[in-house]
């Protein structure tokens, strides 16, 4: 199989792809606890370096996270699509999620995700060896899609596991385990990023754009239909969650403190990172009109719990505006520290920052 060949090829490239380290920083000491290493790394970053790590690396316009030469930290790309195979190049193409759902075979879903992870990691090792960085060249997947199919004409039904919250949650668990590897593993094969959180299931453009749609629903429907699959994803150990374009009862998902902090982090005990959907932060202002300025959109997303911005359109990277917001005293250093920690922890678990 193609993935086996690429995995075999990657074994000889891992050592060559490592960053050459001139100084033994504690965050590179694998004998230390993860939390100690993360704290040490983040303590060495300036507030503006932290902002850059959160603002870039998600999409085409974002490029990659900037390297930090004084710490020998390399660039990184967070944007990889893994729903039906590695999207980058020369990879196995698997059936769409709705087809996998029709099998009711959770082990098959896990096997597809596992094969995808091997191919993603093999490509990653080749890219690192050749010094190539960019979209679809990292180890962090924007997958699986676990939104609930509510209308047969929604244009993205094929990406989902269908209309059943239980089935979607079960397949989310096995897909996450397939991508990341066993929970007991020290290092991840790749990391999952379940999306789109939450209640994102159409419309796309008619009668209202997905960028500005406001989902109005009862608490019962929210908790019984839309949240269970994401709870399953969190319980499976997913390192990433993507917040969606839509509003929920008047509050944009990526600016929704109740959704991202009260429900996700406190209620579900999620400890990973939240990444915005593509350009979702600028839409907080220009589509939802939830705030009056782009800077306010960046601040409200940061405070709600967004760790990383995904932006593709020129001029749409809102977290860039956090530099001025910090200088003006509108956000504090401690919030930045808490937001960047899950990003650095994830990269450590993916095998970065070692001697």
Instruction: Name the residues annotated as catalytic.
Output: 277
16, burial (CB in 10 Å: exposed 0-12, middle 13-18, buried 19+): exposed
Radius of gyration of the chain (CA): 19
Q: Which of 71, 43, 141 is nearest to 337 (CA)?
A: 43
CA-to-CA dists, residue 94 to 80, 192, 292, angstroms: 16, 17, 44
Task: Answer whether 271's CB lies under 8 Å from 239's CB.
Answer: no
Contact at 8 Å (CB) between 32 and 26? yes
∠ CA 210-312-294 to the nearest 5 degrees?
75
Within 10 A of 271 (CB to CB), how many other CB atoms are there? 12
Contact 81, 312 (CB under 8 A): no
Q: Are 285 and 292 in contact (CB under 8 A)?
A: yes
Question: Is residue 55 within 8 Å of residue 35, measured between CB atoms?
Answer: no
Closest CA to 48 of 72, 64, 35, 66: 66
Q: Which residue has the tokens 């790394």?
A: 41
Q: What are residue 301's phi and psi, to 5 degrees?
A: -70, -45
């Amino acid at each position: 199989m193609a993935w086996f060949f690429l995995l075999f090829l990657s074994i000889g490239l891992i050592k060559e792809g490592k960053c050459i380290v001139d100084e033994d920083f504690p965050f590179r000491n694998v004998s230390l606890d993860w939390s100690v290493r993360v704290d040490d790394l983040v303590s060495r970053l300036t507030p503006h370096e932290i902002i850059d790590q959160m603002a870039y690396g998600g999409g085409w316009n974002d490029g990659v996270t900037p390297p930090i030469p004084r710490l020998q930290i390399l660039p990184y790309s967070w944007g990889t699509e893994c729903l039906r195979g590695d999207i980058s190049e020369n990879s196995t193409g698997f059936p769409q999620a709705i087809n996998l759902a029709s099998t009711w075979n959770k082990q098959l879903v896990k096997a597809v995700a596992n094969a995808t992870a091997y191919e993603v990691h093999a490509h990653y090792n080749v890219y690192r060896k050749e010094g190539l960085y960019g979209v679809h060249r990292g180890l962090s997947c924007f997958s699986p899609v676990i939104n609930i199919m509510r209308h047969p004409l929604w244009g993205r039904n094929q990406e989902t596991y269908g209309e059943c919250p239980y089935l979607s949650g079960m397949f989310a668990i096995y897909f996450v385990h397939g991508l990341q590897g066993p929970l007991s593993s020290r290092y991840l094969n790749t990391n999952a990023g379940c999306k789109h959180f939450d209640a994102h299931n159409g419309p796309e453009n008619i009668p209202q754009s997905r960028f500005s749609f406001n989902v109005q629903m009862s608490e019962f429907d929210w908790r019984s239909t839309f949240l269970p699959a994401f709870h399953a994803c969190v319980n499976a150990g997913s390192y990433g969650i993507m917040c969606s374009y839509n509003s929920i009862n008047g509050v944009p998902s990526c600016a929704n403190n109740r959704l991202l902090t009260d429900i996700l982090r406190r209620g579900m005990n999620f400890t990973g990172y939240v990444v915005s959907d593509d350009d979702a932060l600028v839409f907080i202002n220009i589509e939802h009109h939830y705030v009056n300025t782009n800077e306010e959109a960046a601040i409200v997303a940061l405070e709600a719990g967004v760790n990383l911005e995904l932006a593709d359109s020129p001029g749409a990277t809102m977290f860039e505006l956090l530099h001025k917001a910090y200088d003006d005293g509108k956000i504090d250093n401690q919030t930045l520290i808490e937001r960047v920690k899950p990003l650095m922890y994830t990269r450590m678990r993916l095998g970065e920052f070692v001697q």
